[in-house]
């Protein structure tokens, strides 16, 4: 039964034109850096994130994603990031109205970073290792623009022991290349201030043949670019309580364009609660808190609304953030919103 389930999952993944090929995240709002390299070095400290996502729990072979992301600025002539910042030690709380009133655009600076993302679905494991770079510049006194790029490799492994076929001589499975290293490239742009942000990015913009090596057109299996458009705004309900609605549009040809809606209610950034909606897929509940000025934790649970709700117990996701080398001891920490 297990191999049958994995075969179904594998066939679904082989038909890549019908499915998203990269992981999705409910808590994208806390780490947009995973989707857009332009956020590299957006804060004045080294921003470390550890994440784990178990999607559609209860469904055998369902996606499981784990990641590590690290990014830091080069230079020291700036002290403020964007609207999604978490508080570090000392300074103004980035959720406060005073922080927004005193906000100034960053001095021009560079950022460097690294992302390692492992995503396992049934017999398929994809690990992306990418270095990132971004350049930030102030367009006005309060508005910044960043342009970034990510480059690295995708390691794709297919566990053939978890796949069975009705015909062992099937030419498709006899020609499988089950251990591959492929180049990976992404780009992004991010405009940000203390109380809003908007960005556009693209992942895996170099299409690659995957697993199936047959030259027959009907057997070709290629990656496709993933495009993301993200935006959000910070609304003050009081001096220290903020509401941050955001939206992310995803375009993956030829899948119809879909979107995520996210709402975060923050209380002096000591803790936050929120909700999310993914079109035709799920509703989510989010919560998080700051353990200290250097560590924060976020958790989300997605209630599946698609046809998979009959076999899925929902999706769990946890993110741990660590703020290192906070040179200015200011209230900043994550990235936009």
**Phi, psi angles (nearest 5°) of residue 229:** -120, 120
CB 117 within 8 A of CB 125: no
- Left, alpha or beta for 219 (phi > 0: left; psi -120 to 50: alpha)? alpha
Closest CA to 194 of 229, 230, 233: 233
Closest CA to 47 of 68, 72, 25, 28: 72
Residue ranges in the chain whose pLDDT is less than 50: 1-18, 216-219, 328-337
- Per DSSP, 207 falls in state -
Give the integer Cα–Cα distance in Å for 252 and 31: 21
Tokens 């369902």 belong to 62
CB 246 within 8 A of CB 262: yes
The separation between CA 115 and the C-alpha centre of its own chain, rounded to angstroms, equals 10
Longest distance between any two alpha carbons in the chain, whole Å: 69
pLDDT in tens, 3-50: 444 444 444 444 433 456 789 899 988 899 999 999 999 988 899 999
The pLDDT assigned to 336 comes to 40
Closest CA to 117 of 147, 155, 148: 155
Q: What is the mean pLDDT of the chain?
A: 81
| Cross-strand bridge partners of residue 203 | 226
The pLDDT assigned to 166 comes to 65
Contacts of 176 (CB under 8 A, 6+ apart): 158, 160, 211, 212, 213
> Which tokens sit at 54?
């178990």
The alpha carbon torsion through 51, 7, 308, 262 (nearest 10 deg) reads 30
CB 179 within 8 A of CB 157: yes
């Amino acid at each position: 039964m297990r191999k049958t389930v994995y075969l179904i999952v594998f066939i679904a993944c082989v038909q890549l034109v019908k499915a998203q090929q990269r992981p999705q995240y409910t808590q994208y709002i806390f780490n947009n850096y995973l989707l857009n390299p332009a956020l590299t070095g957006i804060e004045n400290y080294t921003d470390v994130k550890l994440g784990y996502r178990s999607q559609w729990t209860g469904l055998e072979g369902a996606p499981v994603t784990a990641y590590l992301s690290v990014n830091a600025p080069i230079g020291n002539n700036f002290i403020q990031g964007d609207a999604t910042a978490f508080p570090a030690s000392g300074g103004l709380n980035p959720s406060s109205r005073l922080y927004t009133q005193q906000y100034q655009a960053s001095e021009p600076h560079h950022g460097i970073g690294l992302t390692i993302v492992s995503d396992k679905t049934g017999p398929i494991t994809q690990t992306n290792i990418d270095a990132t770079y971004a350049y930030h510049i102030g367009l006005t006194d309060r508005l910044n623009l960043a342009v970034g790029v990510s480059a690295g490799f995708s390691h794709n492994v297919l566990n053939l022991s978890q796949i069975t076929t009705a015909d062992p001589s099937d030419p498709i499975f006899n020609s499988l290349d089950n251990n591959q290293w492929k180049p990976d490239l992404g780009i992004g742009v991010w405009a940000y201030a203390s109380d809003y942000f908007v960005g556009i990015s693209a992942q895996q913009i170099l299409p690659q043949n995957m697993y199936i090596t047959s030259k027959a057109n009907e057997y070709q299996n290629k990656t496709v670019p993933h495009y993301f458009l993200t935006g959000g705004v910070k609304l003050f309900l009081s001096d220290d309580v903020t509401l941050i609605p955001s939206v992310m549009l995803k375009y993956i040809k030829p899948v119809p364009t879909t979107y995520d809606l996210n709402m975060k209610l923050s209380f002096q950034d000591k803790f936050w609660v929120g909700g999310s909606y993914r079109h035709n897929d799920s509703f989510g509940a989010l919560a998080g808190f700051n353990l200290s000025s250097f560590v924060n934790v976020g958790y989300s649970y997605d209630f599946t609304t698609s046809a998979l709700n009959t076999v899925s117990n929902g999706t769990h996701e946890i993110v741990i953030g660590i703020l290192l080398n906070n040179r200015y001891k200011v209230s900043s920490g994550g990235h936009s919103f």
